[in-house]
Structure 1
Amino acid sequence: MTNKIHVIAHTHWDYEWYFTSSESFIQLCYHVDEVIKALEEGVLDYYMLDGQMSIVEDYLEVNTDKKERLMALIKKGKLKVGPWYTQSDQMIIRGESLVRNLQIGMELGDSLGGADRLGYVPDAFGQSIDMPKIFAQMGIDKAVFWRGLSSDKANQRELFWESEDGSRVLAYNLKDGYFVGVQLIESNNSEALMKQIKIGTTSSHIALPVGGDQRYVDFNLKERIADYNKALSSDRLIESNYDDLFEGINSERKDLPKVQGELLNAEVSKIHRSIYSSRYDHKYINDKVERRLIYQLEPLMAIATQIGIPYKKELVDKIWKLTLKNHAHDSAGACNSDKTNQAILQRLIDADQLSYSMVDYLTRKISESRKEIKDNQITVFNTLPMRREQVLRLKISLSQSDFVIYHNGKELPYEIISMEKHSNEPIRKKANTSPKSYYFELEIALKLELAPLGYEVLDVIEGNKGDTPQIVENKHKSYIENEYYKIDYVNGEINVYDKVSDTFYENLFMIEDTGDDGDNYDYSPPLEDKSIMLGFSNSFIECSQGTFACCLKLSGTFIVPLSQEERIQMKNTCEIPYECYITLKTGERSIGIQLELENNALDHRMRLLINGNVNTQQSISDTPFGTISRPITDPNLQSWQEKAWKEEPTGIYPMLNFVNIHDGQRSVTVFSKGVKEYEIIGKDDMKIALTLFRAVGYLGKPDLLRRPGVASGNQFKYIQTPDSQLQKKLKYKFSLMLGKSFSESEAFRHYQEYAISVPYYQQQSLNQFTTTLKYFVMQPLSNAVPNHLSLLDTTKVKKVVFSSFKKSWDGKGFIIRFFNPTCKKIEDGGEVISHHGSIRWSFTNMEETINENDVYQENTIQLGMFKPKEIKTIYVQFA
């Protein structure tokens, strides 16, 4: 039988790396010119632009005269573009971000003649467990990937990659990388190349990708194919594309293996399983931007359209594109030069400011357009579709320090956290401030129940004094408690008593400091390391007690080695100042932890250890659309070197928002805003180790203990990255839940209530700087805006997880999405109730295609049965 070798011309275009996107952009402009010329003149039959549209968009921005020629080639199927906007990381990027990446990429590709419906992932550092169902819901039924697959899952290149819900794609694994075909151009050893690419194949249709990182167009491809065909007897090379490759594989109708789960092993390629902690500062702000876009801005814009504020899709897309450019696999991993990471950080800052400003604008516009607006009223927005009852902290400005707050006519108790007196007179060198110009800026705490997906109004009446206790500080007290926990500071240790489960946790958390001889890709222990356990024995203690919350503040200095040289010499001379706030809120079953520290040491790693004293062999973490159970010890750990794996299959894993360990007696779950890496350590008393940061100084280094061989990043030059030593102040926010059992859906719900803040706006003119643009006037809407609004209510949704609510891609309706986070079928997901009258709704997919024959007209959405890990997307139109 003659094998058909499908020669696929392409380039892999790293958006940025040790070079910036600006530097690469210049080459891109000339490269695409060459691609167009080669395809138009028949020098090449097909060419693939790396499956991402961001580079096409960048090219067309300054080459507008080439648009028609480019479109003609795309329409003919000669030039393959999309479906991604950027080649995204999958392990530390949220599911909704992956969906927006594909939606924006496919929309842009289709506008130019047709995005390729191929799940093309040539270089991402591992494949998420959820990708098959994401691809399937986006209308993509075939995929090509390189990294992550090991022989204990499948030896074969052709396979069905499946999700637990039954979704699957026909996949082809590029075991030899996307660059293997360069040998066709540069070597005449045809037999060796054929032997290499046939290992693990069962089909007679075999891929030979010819391309590489920022590689030029191979104008002699046809000539080299002809030369090889002359030399080969049983194989025939044809110029081709992945569509034809998969058509050939499908035509043979062979029984292919099925693979489930995440692909995160380094048998055939490096996977960098500790890249999740590189440059924590980037990961923190990206996490914040993703949270705001998905859980605040998109729902808020959807709410705004219902009261007459036009939906600006292009503006939302602009912010998403800024964000998605930072999700490219190198960018998200932060394995780049300093100048590149400075550009990434600036894009993240721009996305942060734009998204924050949009939330500010919309909350103000809605608030000032209400038909019964009064001075000092506070409009509070719930951008989640479930009722929320929780303690809120609000900053308000009033002319008097005595006031009462009412919600729906009922007085609300509150307490004053802080109060400052200011003047709103123009500033002068010689101040002569009038007493009438003074106002009070207060931070208050109150407990409030909010209706779902909408807004409510608080009335603030000045001049009356209600029950307004201030928080009491007691510097001699060393414990705090609420209905659920008592937390004691004893001899430098944090001890916690769980009142509900009658369980005592001794020395609940501490800090571990170790050396790090690694690089921006991977942690690596030094040959001579010094591990230090840092407690809080020398802390200065402050305790504050209020009606709604109590806090234990620990402040002090950790003493660690300044450098690796000091570790070897057993010296500790570096001071790392810290402040740690432990908070309990009334009625809330979680422990808040906020840690602030200033890193002054080099080449080291710091981790937060949670001493759960749990006996288990599994951890559970969240994924883009679900959860995953992972072994504490990788089954390949003892044999990876003899099997010649590219790196150690460490117990370090990625997380998005939380990680849990539990047994029959104890359950410990840690939620984070920005920390993306964990490891479970210990023997019978397991601890959760969350990597706070790694401070390293090189992009890539060779011959690491965990990753032998050549350097990652660049094999021929040490590239110093002093910025990644993170010599700066760093902030961390965690929520900790203790108990006896674990529920995936409850974990997601707690995370959303904990991590998604409540936007609000106060109607007042005393303080013109509560938001960036409040100094300027705003025109209210001409139509009457209701004083209260609630669109959809998911209070009766059972066991499934809310994922997003936004305007539909066509702008005519809305999209709400849920998923089953467990491996078990859920018989009934519950119902979504409309508070805005009768609605037209229909189940759809992530492409948001609608079948008019399956549209319902009622005020309740019955979610029905969910298969294991199934995602359900619903299209909604309000009356």
Structure 2
Amino acid sequence: MKEQGLTCYIVFQTHWDREWYFPFEVFRHRLIQVIERVVDGLEKGELKQFVMDGQMAALEDYLEVCEEDAGERLKKRISEGRVIIGPWYILADEFLVSGESLIRNLEMGLKLAGKYGNPQMVGYLPDTFGHVSQMPQILQGFDIDNAILWRGIKPEKSEFFWEAPDGTRVFTIFLPEGYYQPILNEEDYKEKIQAFLDKVVPYASTSKVLLTNGGDHLMPKAGSMSEKIDELNSQLDPVFIERNYEEYLQAVRGEVNEELNTHMGEMRENDHCYILPNVLSARTYLKQQNQWMEDELTGYAEPLLALAGKHPKRYLDETWKLLLKNQPHDSICGCSVDEVHREMENRTMKLGQRMELLQNEALMALGAFDSSVSGSGLRKPFEDDGRFLVFNPHPYPYTGWVKGIVWLQEGSREHFALRSSAGEIYEPIILSKEKRRFFESPLDAFPEFREGIFYEVAFYAENLPGLSISEFTVVEGVNLVLQEEETASIENKHLTLTLEQDGTLTMIDKKANVAYKGLQQFYSSLDAGDEYNYSRPLKDIVSNAVLSENPSVKKAEGVQILNYKLELEIPAGLNAERNGPADQVLKTTLSVEVKLFKNMTRAEVTVKVENRAKDQRLRVKFPLSATIPYTYSDTSFDIVRREAKKMEVFDAPKQREVPVVVEPAYSFIRADDKRKGIVFFQRGLQEYQITSDGVGDVLELTLLRSVGWLSRDDLRSRGGGAGPMLETPDAQCLGSYEFTYAFGPFMPELSNMEIAREAREFRVPAKIFSGKLREDTGALIEIDNDTLQWSSIRPSDDGLLIRLWNPSEISQQMSFSSIRGIDQVTRVTLGGKQLSEIKGLKDSILPKRISTYRIQFTEGGGKG
């Protein structure tokens, strides 16, 4: 007799990692076999429906290589609603990519799914290593009011509400036993399904439970799954029915009759299952490359195209796809076999080429240089940068340092100044210069080499209009050349930095009269972990970097630069037992450059590492001169307050991880006691930790984690494997690496919002381009509120789309203006649906809210 009311919804699915323990092409060949089995089973009535893992890239991968008739059979099943597709393009890691990338991922996935059928409107997040706080708002922005997930939380019940910081909520299903449940593939499936029910039923707040029958890269076993379900119904008490996720969600929501719990914000807990926290620092070079490409695409290419009124839709779509293919959780996390990550670097190489071409296409459309298409550009092929352009990508006036390369024909100018189009004269600092050949291949002329002097210049510009291009001319005058001095200190009106004999820095905050000692200490310790988790060996050894030669300081009006070299004597790796150091000792060298510009409260640092050692973790420490209860760091469309977890545990019980002590940061970290501390900006250094040295607390950043295994099952820090035990020699990160970041003292007068804006400008400063214009473009779009942050300015068919977000706890008023004149501003959803027209070019953005606007310009109009 059936148990009263209990129904088990069975969803047949596969979780498809495009690349992981096999490279992409190996998995794609396997995908052909999986889909052929699925389509065959659907056509024979052995299956009713099948879910393609909530992502569209796998479908594209299959259709590119399958036989034509096989592709048509699959598309037919999709159109019938029997193969379920969408909503994502790929299943990304949520903490290692930008919020804008998450939005484009969903936008791209839904757009593609709509070409083949109706996408499932499910916030499907089955295997992500934690979840960002604003995901409910992102999902609701595309009319998805639910989520299905596993990692990052241990709720009391399978059903709850998940609430973003702005108050947006989605109904959420938690998978107590995860998504990997190919139970009906097993011979003893009846016994195993009963054991499964025994585990999940206690979590259910309704009479319905979910079995996600499938797993990583798996197909339903040959034979009729429908017949197996019939057998279950004849022999076990619950009712078993085959459905899809949307049907399950609808049924559960219809029955919920009690007040559900609400989870607020992000999910990074690992009490229930692995969160694999140290993927934040595995293969940091991949994180650097990803952020570089995100900044080039959303920070420069798309805003330039918007300014030019150029909208190459398909090319932009394909560029976004190429970027997104580097962002799946097993890819960007650096936890795959070496072949996977080499292919990622090839994608980055292609993306770099596309970024340059897209930016040049926009400049060409603006007439910045000549082509056979328009013939209207002022800069002719092979001309030098006697006139050049500065692009401000921000939707507000930019004041700050402009740095970049200007190339001039040899012998044309030895000493020069810069003149703006308004006639202002700037004395540029020459940071470096180099004679080299320059190759140019115009569209309508023979390619040629030219020789010239490439000057790395820096100058301080004020009030460059928002989203604009300004022209500068090289004129007779004085440039500032760096002069070497015998000292170990650099300073400006805000800070003094002194290199000490132990290789650390002392920083004096002149305004607060506070000294910070022991800063920027580089150290290495052993790491017996894998690509997922750091693990301290039983016999650890810590090595601090020491000075290897005398420092050098170069100064000019406006900038002072400190250069020094350090050495680390460290074990060559782990011993054979992996419990302590090998006998051999090697030297890792670090070359450090610290720049301190006039008017800046942050020192900019470049560190070049020549790593020769394996099985180590290389970190840099910043003592805070304070004891702090929490930190702040940024994530997708949010600034999150994080508890400073200073108690670290090194041994985990079976099938558990040690408590998480590392935290994610997309571009900045604030660590202070509201009076003193450190603010840190970075690219690609997304793992940090607060420790205590007995005197005070310390901010630590991970530069490299050198490990040689995808996964191991003998770690102290994790009680079991997280994947196949495969060697990954490239993950040892031997060779040359370069890191850039900035740091300075916390200043109580600076809000989190101002810090976030500074961090954005550090990552996306005003940029120098070759070219000429008849006149400066003026501000295409400006907003008048410094608190608001922006994530996207992109071209549209009838103007541009701009996405802003409010990081503060109160509503923010703002208005738009433009040199072209604004005809209409319409607020739209993240998915592009029209909400309302805003009146008087003014709007209010609620706390923690993401707002997107479609702006149409008046033809030839003046300031809006």
Deviates most, 70-79 or 168-177: 70-79
Q: Equivalents in 2 of 1:360, 1:582: separation in Å? A: 32
Equivalent residue, structure 2, for 1:168: 169
Q: Distance in 1 between matches of 2:226 and 2:456?
A: 71
**1:156 — aligned with what?**
157
Q: Which residue of 2 aligns with 1:806?
A: 794
- Label 1:159 to 1:836 Cα distance change in 2 as closer, same or farther (>3 A): same
Provide Cα deviations, 1:221-249, integer angstroms capped at 9, x if missing partner.
1111111111223x100011111111111
* Residue 748 (structure 1) aligns with: 756
Aligned residues with identical type, % of pairs? 26
Q: Which amino acid aligns with 1:792?
A: I
Q: 1:527-548 CA deviation, whole Å, 9 max, x = no partner? A: 11112233x4444201011122
For 1:798 and 1:223, the matched residues in 2 are separated by: 63
Counterpart of 1:5, as a letter, is C
Residues 652 and 716 in structure 2, CA contact (< 8 A), matched pair in contact too: no
**SS at the partner of 1:863?**
strand
Query: Paired residue for 1:545?
Result: 555
Residue 123 of structure 2 corresponds to residue 122 of structure 1: no
* Partner residue of 1:401 out of 414, 418, 438: 414
Aligned to 1:287: 291
The 1-side partners of 2:611 and 2:41 are apart by 53
2:811 partner amino acid:
E
The 3 A distance-change label for structure 1 pair 114 and 542 is same
What is residue 693 of structure 1 aligned with on the other side? 704
* Distance in 2 (alpha carbons) for counterparts of 1:789 and 1:830: 20
Give, as a single letter, the amino acid of the residue that structure 1 aligns with 2:757. R
Question: Are 2:645 and 1:633 equivalent residues in the alignment?
Answer: yes
1:361 Cα deviation after fit:
4.0
CA positional deviation for 1:169: 0.9
The Cα offsets for residues 149-174 of structure 1, whole Å up to 9 and x where unpaired, read as 12xxx210011111121111111111
Q: Check 1:761–1:128 CA distance in 2 against 1; reply closer, same or farther (3 A cut).
A: closer
Q: Does 1:870 align with 2:858?
A: no
Task: Tell me: CA distance 1:225–1:425, structure 2 relative to 1, closer, same or farther (3 Å).
Answer: closer
1:352 corresponds to: 352
How many Å separate the matches in 1 of 2:198 and 2:700?
44
SS of the residue aligned with 2:481? Answer: coil
1:765-844 alignment to 2 at 5 Å?
Answer: 787-794=776-783, 796-808=784-796, 811-822=797-808, 824=809, 826-844=810-828
Q: Report the 3-state secondary structure (helix = DSSP H, G, I; strand = E; otherwise coil) of the residue aligned with 1:315.
A: helix
Distance 1:373 1:570 in 2: 60
Partner of 1:830, secondary structure, is strand
Measure, in 1, the Cα distance between the counterparts of 2:377 and 2:439. 30
Amino acid across the alignment from 2:665: M
What secondary structure sits across from 1:831 in the alignment? Answer: strand
TM-score under structure 2 length normalisation: 0.91
Q: 1:815: Cα distance to partner?
A: 1.5
Could you say which residue in structure 2 is the equivalent of 1:318?
318
Which AA in structure 1 matches 2:850?
A: I
Q: Structure 1 residue 26: deviation in Å? A: 1.0
Q: Is the alpha carbon distance of 1:763 and 1:172 closer, same or farther for their aligned partners in structure 2, counting shifts above 3 Å?
A: closer
Letter in 2 for 1:712: A
Q: 1:514 aligns with which of 525, 530, 533?
A: 525
Q: Quickly say closer, same or farther: Cα 1:351–1:739, change in 2 above 3 A.
A: same
Q: Tell me by how many angstroms 1:603 deviates.
A: 0.4
Q: Distance in 2 between matches of 1:519 and 1:320?
A: 30
- In the TM superposition, residue 671 of structure 1 has moved relative to its aligned partner by 0.8
Contact 2:428 2:459 in 1 (8 A): yes
**Which residue is 2:479 aligned to?**
468
Q: 1:727-783, CA deviations, whole angstroms, 9 ceiling, x for partnerless residues?
A: 11011111113133252211211011111143333349xxxxxxxxxxxxxxxxxxx
Among candidates 652, 656, 659, match of residue 646 of structure 1? 656
Distance in 1 separating the partners of 2:108 and 2:328: 14
User: What's 1:656 paired with?
Assistant: 666
Question: What secondary structure, in the 3-state scheme, does the structure 2 residue paired with 1:504 have?
Answer: strand
Aligned residue for 1:671, secondary structure, equals strand
Q: State the distance in 1 between where 2:832 and 2:451 align.
A: 54
| Residue identity opposite 2:327 in structure 1 | H
- The answer to whether the 8 Å contact 2:433/2:455 transfers is yes
Asked if 1:387 corresponds to 2:397, the answer is: yes
- SS of the aligned residue for 1:126 comes to coil
Q: How many residues end up aligned between the 2 structures? A: 821
2:13: which partner in 1? Answer: 10
**1:237-316 equivalent positions in 2, closer than 5 A:** 237-254=240-257, 255-305=259-309, 310-316=310-316
**1:601-646 CA distance string (max 9 Å, x none):** 11000111111122112121111111111212289x779967x662
Aligned residue number for residue 768 of structure 1: none
User: 2:862 — aligned with what?
Assistant: none
Q: Secondary structure at the match of 2:760?
A: helix
- The alignment yields a C-alpha RMSD, in angstroms, of 2.5
Per-residue deviation, 1:648: 0.9
Counterpart Cα distance in 1 of 2:229 and 2:527? 47
2:660, 2:16 → 1: CA distance? Answer: 29
> What is the rounded CA distance, in whole Å, between the counterparts of 2:268 and 2:79 in structure 1?
36
| Letter aligned with residue 400 of structure 1 | R
Equivalent residues in 2 for 1:609-620, closer than 5 Å: 609-620=621-632
Match of 1:177 in 2: 178
- Deviation, 1:333, is 1.0
Aligned AA (1:172)? I
Verify: 1:761 aligned to 2:745, yes or no: no
Task: Check conservation: 1:559, 1:572, Cα contact below 8 A.
Answer: no
Give the superposition deviation at 1:30: 2.7
Q: TM-score by structure 1 length?
A: 0.89
Question: Could you report, residue by residue, the CA deviation over 1:502-555 in whole angstroms, capped at 9, with x for unpaired residues?
Answer: 211112220121100001111100111112233x44442010111221111111
Alignment of 1:723-734 (within 5 A): 723-734=730-741
User: Separation in 1 of the partners of 2:426 and 2:262?
Assistant: 58
Counterpart amino acid of residue 753 in structure 1:
E
Distance 2:707 2:602 in 1: 34
Letter of the aligned partner of 2:220 in structure 1?
V
What is the CA distance between 1:265 and its match in structure 2?
1.9
Which residue is 1:496 aligned to? 507
Segments of structure 2 that go 5 or more residues without pairing to the other structure are 371-375, 441-449, 859-864
* Residue in 2 that maps onto 1:767: none
Give the whole-Å Cα distance in 1 for the aligned partners of 2:249 and 2:604.
51
Is the aligned partner of 1:478 residue 2:488? yes
1:849 alignment partner, one of 828, 833, 841: 833
C-alpha displacement at 1:559, in angstroms?
Answer: 1.7
Which of the residues 105, 122, 125 maps onto 1:101? 105
2: CA distance between counterparts of 1:265 and 1:314? Answer: 40
Deviation, 1:66, is: 4.3
For 1:282, give the aligned amino acid.
L
Contact kept in structure 2, 1:266 and 1:645, CA below 8 Å: no
CA shift in 2, pair 1:371/1:340, >3 Å: closer
AA in 2 matched with 1:864 = S
Q: Which shifted more, 163-172 or 413-422? A: 413-422
What's the offset of the Cα at 1:338? 1.2
Instruction: Call closer, same or farther: CA 1:841–1:614 in 2, change over 3 Å.
Output: same
Partners of 2:608 and 2:295 in 1: how far apart? 21
Cα contact 2:391–2:468 (8 A) shared by 1: yes
Q: Distance in 2 between matches of 1:798 and 1:124?
A: 34
Shift of 1:289: 0.7
Q: What is aligned with 1:705? A: 716
Amino acid at match of 1:873: T
Counterpart among 50, 72, 89 of residue 93 in structure 2: 89
**Cα distance 1:425–1:15, how it changes in 2: closer, same or farther (>3 A)?**
closer
Cα 1:568–1:273 shift into 2, 3 Å:
closer
Letter in 2 for 1:878: F
- The structural deviation recorded for 1:831 is 2.3
- 1:371–1:787 Cα contact (<8 Å) kept: no
Q: 1:577 aligns with which of 554, 567, 589?
A: 589
Alpha-carbon separation, structure 2, partners of 1:339 and 1:45: 37
